[in-house]
Amino acid sequence: MAKKRQVRADFRKNRNVRAREKNWTHAADAESDDADRVSSVESVRAKGDLSRKRTLAGAEVIEGDDGVAVLPAVDPKICRQGRVLRVQGLISAVQLDEGEIRFCATRRLLKTLATDQRHVVAAGDRVWVRPEGADEGIIERVEPRRGVLSRASRGRQHVLAANVDQLMVVVSAAEPKLKPHLVDRYLVTAEKNHVEPIICINKIDLINPVDLQPLVGVYSQIGYRVLALSAERGWGVDHLRAMLRGRQSAFTGQSGVGKSSLLNAVEPGLDLRVRPVSQENEKGRHTTTTAELIPLAEGGYVFDTPGIRQFALWDVIPQEVAGFFRDLRPFVSKCRYPDCTHTHEEPCAVKDAVADGYIDVRRYESYLAMLEEEP
């Protein structure tokens, strides 16, 4: 629900410090009559540039799942709506709804609003743009997001992609080796943000596919879709292309797993830059440097995101982790203690389920690892 009104909004602390008229602390004489004037002349009042709260006239207050968001007012007669394709430095490439692409700066007001985010604008955002010049503009407002793919970075939220319909978690069967614990982190993020996750195992031509059956079986049994793919040989590419049609899908995973190669196979002529995996350590080299939203010829969009070697969860407290594991969730309510952490308590329904084979041991170890790393 949106309401237009006078809104008192939180702003970041201003970096400018107002100079005092005189250093009364050191210069005032206790015996002088001027000392009586210190309190009235030098009182610090939260006004102007020193204030952390300001009034936004005509702003909209949106109440959603993520809390209350304050949106500055825009003039629909001047501004036009669009979708952010990529953010490079201070400039964002925005595709307007009419198809025109403009290179936009971000309104200073948006950058000074108090926020936990590293960047105000992210690929996939729906924005209002005030056109300037031939192909430029100013981003006046960012609409509330849904389906956010983000991670924690130095205590702040790093939004990789916004308004995601499905999350394509890309891993490689070999070169580099598959990391199930990293997959579990992406799955927790997808569960938290109500995004449909799909596990894409690339480079299956490098191994015997039978070796993947135990891992595929675990994820399939708890309801996750798993695709076996080979961008090199085109295996499963047609099926993947059909799944992307009409959706906004984010391809994510560590460097070198073949995200860009899969997109090149899905969309002939895309010609995204790719690099081979290092032969010394079998680690991928960073090729994609910024998240980019790419329109598909058959309809829909895909995000090509930079490779990530570590994925720290954002805004997930230890008490919530078990609820984001589909296989642990049915047993959580059966524990004796309502605040059971499923680590040392006895009796514990989750640990009993692991011992009885209802929960995969590796998945339980992944849960424990996330629990220890969360603040």
Residues 105 and 209 in one domain: no
Within this chain, do residues 229 and 293 fall inside the same structural domain, yes or no?
yes
Same domain, 62 and 180: no
Last residue of a domain, one of 142, 172, 201: 142
Stretch 100-124: mean pLDDT, rounded? 87
- Residue 52 banded pLDDT, cuts 50, 70, 90: low
Are 330 and 277 in a shared domain?
A: no
Q: Are residues 77 and 212 in the same domain?
A: no
CA distance 201 to 198: 10
Boundary (domain end) residue, out of 304, 326, 347: 304
pLDDT digits (tens, 9 = 90+) for 262-307: 999 999 888 887 766 555 544 545 466 788 999 999 999 999 988 7
> The domain containing residue 334 runs over which residues?
318-373
- Mean pLDDT check: name the lowest of 45-49, 112-116, 140-144, 336-340: 45-49
Say what the pLDDT of residue 56 is.
63
Per-residue burial over 156-195, b if 16 or more Cβ lie within 10 Å, else e, is ebbbbbbbbbbbbbbbbbebbebbbebbbbbbbbbbbbeb
Same domain, 214 and 252: yes
Residue 120 falls within a domain, yes or no? yes
Same domain, 66 and 135: yes
Does one domain contain both 178 and 252?
A: yes
Return the pLDDT at 335: 95
Report if residue 31 sits inside a domain.
no
Q: What is the pLDDT of residue 14?
A: 53
CATH number at residue 296: 3.40.50.300
Indicate whether 51 pLDDT > 80. Answer: no
Model confidence, pTM: 0.81
In a domain, 53, yes or no: no
274, 304, 334 — which closes off a domain? 304
Q: Residue 42's pLDDT is what?
A: 42
Range of lowest pLDDT (160-174, 283-297, 325-339, 352-366): 283-297
Task: Say if residue 325 is in the same domain as residue 300.
Answer: no
pLDDT of amino acid 262 = 94
In the structure encoding, which two tokens stand for residue 137, read together?
């503009």
Q: Is residue 212 part of a domain?
A: yes
CA distances in angstroms from 54 to 72, 106, 276, 339, listed in the order given: 12, 19, 51, 41
Confidence of residue 16 (pLDDT cuts 50, 70, 90): very low
Residues 202-254 have pLDDT tens digits of 999 999 989 999 999 999 999 999 999 999 999 999 999 999 999 999 999 99
Domain-embedded: residue 280: yes
44 pLDDT tier (thresholds 50, 70, 90): very low
186 found inside a domain: yes
- Can you give the CATH number for the domain in which 356 is found? 1.10.40.50
Looking at the structure of the chain, the number of domains it has is: 3
Averaged confidence pLDDT in the chain: 83
Residue 113 belongs to a domain with what CATH number? 2.40.50.140
In a domain, 309, yes or no: no
- Mean per-residue pLDDT, 342-352: 95
What is the torsional sign of CA 130, 249, 191, 307? negative
